[in-house]
Amino acid sequence: MHSPLLHYPLKDISNDNLRRLSDAVLQSYCFEGLANFDKEAALENERTDLWSLTDDDNPESLQGVRERRGLGADVQDEELMARVFELENGGLLLANVCRNDADETLIEVFSTEVHDKTFFDNWAGYLKQFFYWANARYFVCWPRVGSEGARQLSEIEGSYMADGFWAGAMKNIPLVQNHALEFRPFSMAEDWEWYEREYQAFLEQNPKFKYIVPISDEEELEEACEEGLCDIALYKGEKLGMVMAESSAELGFDGVMISDIFIASAFRGKGFASSLQRGFLASRNEQFAFVCGYIDARNPASFSNARNQGRALLRQECYIPING
C-alpha cells in the first residue's frame, strides 16, 4: 500500500497544481473528430468543475454530512473535504467522497497518474483507510476511452462502466426533421403530471432503469423551462415525448447539454427517438456550436441513438468495487 508525501484539502491547492489536475482530466477525453478545440478554454472549464468540489466546505454543509452519517468529533471537518495527495514521484491525486442517484457512497478519484489496475492496486488501500468514515462502496474514475487502463479496470470483478460523455459539433448533427412532429415549450402546469405519470409507468415496466435513467425533478424542469430549453413534442395532437437540456461550457464550447429525452409509452420503440432529438436541436442550430450529454453505459439504446445523431463517446466513467 502506497502513501503520499503530504495531503491537504482541495481549497488549499496551488494554482499550478490545480492546473495540472485540470490538464490530467482533459487528457482522459478522446478528441478524435472534434475540431476547433480551444485547450485553454477547456482547461478553464475543468478547473472550474474541480474547484466546485469545494462548494460544500462550509459549516452548514459539513454539519449536514456529520448528521447524515452519524459522525463524531473524532472526525475533523477537513477530513470531510475533497483532498489532494502529493505523491513521491511528483504526481497528484485528488479524491472526493460523493453519492450517486442510488444513494451509494463513492470515492471519486482524479490523478495525474494513469488510471489502470496498478494505480488502484497501489492506492485503493490507502484511500479506503483515509476515508474510513465514508464506508464507500465504489471508487469512481474516468480512464481514457479505449485505453489499456480502461480495459484493465473493466476486467476487475464487480467493476462496470457507468456514465459516458457523448458529444459532437452541432454542424455534424443530422438535423433533417420529421415534420409530423410539432414542438412547443414544456409547461409545468400542463405537462408535469403527464411526464411524472408516464415516467412511473415506464419504471413499472422497467424497474432496473430507476437509477440508470432517473426522473428529472420539478426544480430541474423549471430551470430548463426558464432557460427555454425544455420542449414537448406532439404527434397528431398527442404528447409524444419531451426533451430537456441546459446550456453548457463543457470543453470550453458554447454548447447545449441534453439531460433528459423521454418518450411516452404509446410511442416508445417506434423510431421516434432520433426525430425527437433532431427536432429539438434544429430550432437551436444557430444558438449552440456543441451538443453533449451523459448516458449510462447500461442504457445501450440511448448510446445507439447518440451515435446516430453524430455524437461520439469522449469520456467514460468506471465504477470499481471497494472490497473488504
* pLDDT tens by residue, the chain, 324 residues: 577 789 999 999 999 999 999 999 999 999 876 777 788 999 999 999 999 999 999 999 999 999 999 999 899 999 999 999 999 999 999 999 999 989 999 999 999 999 999 999 999 999 999 999 999 999 999 999 999 999 999 999 999 999 999 999 988 888 766 778 999 999 999 999 999 999 999 988 888 888 888 888 899 999 999 999 999 999 999 999 999 999 999 999 999 999 999 999 999 988 898 899 999 999 898 899 999 999 999 888 888 888 888 899 999 999 999 985
Q: 21 with 94: CB under 8 angstroms?
A: yes
The residues near 242 (Cβ < 8 Å, ≥ 6 apart) are 186, 191, 195, 230, 231, 232, 233, 260, 261, 262
Task: Determine the pLDDT at residue 1.
Answer: 57
Grid coordinates in use for 52? 466546485
Task: Determine the pLDDT at residue 301.
Answer: 85
What is the C-alpha to C-alpha distance for residues 114 and 252, in angstroms, rounded to an integer?
24
What is the C-alpha to C-alpha distance for residues 3 and 201, in angstroms, rounded to an integer?
50
Using alpha carbons, select from 115, 122, 121, 154 the residue that is nearest to residue 27.
Answer: 115
Question: Which helix (H) or strand (E) is 313 found in, with range?
Answer: strand 312-321
Q: For residue 47, give the amino acid letter.
A: R
What is the C-alpha to C-alpha distance for residues 308 and 301, in angstroms, rounded to an integer?
11
What is the C-alpha to C-alpha distance for residues 201 and 87, in angstroms, rounded to an integer?
50
Grid coordinates in use for 214? 432517473
What domains lie within the chain, and their CATH numbers? 6-162 (3.40.630), 174-308 (3.40.630.30)
- Give, as one character, the DSSP assignment of residue 289: S
What is the C-alpha to C-alpha distance for residues 108 and 95, in angstroms, rounded to an integer?
6
Task: Determine the pLDDT at residue 38.
Answer: 87
Task: Determine the pLDDT at residue 196.
Answer: 95
Task: Determine the pLDDT at residue 33.
Answer: 66
Residue with cell 427517438: 273
Phi-psi region of 25 (alpha: psi -120 to 50; beta: other; left: phi over 0): alpha
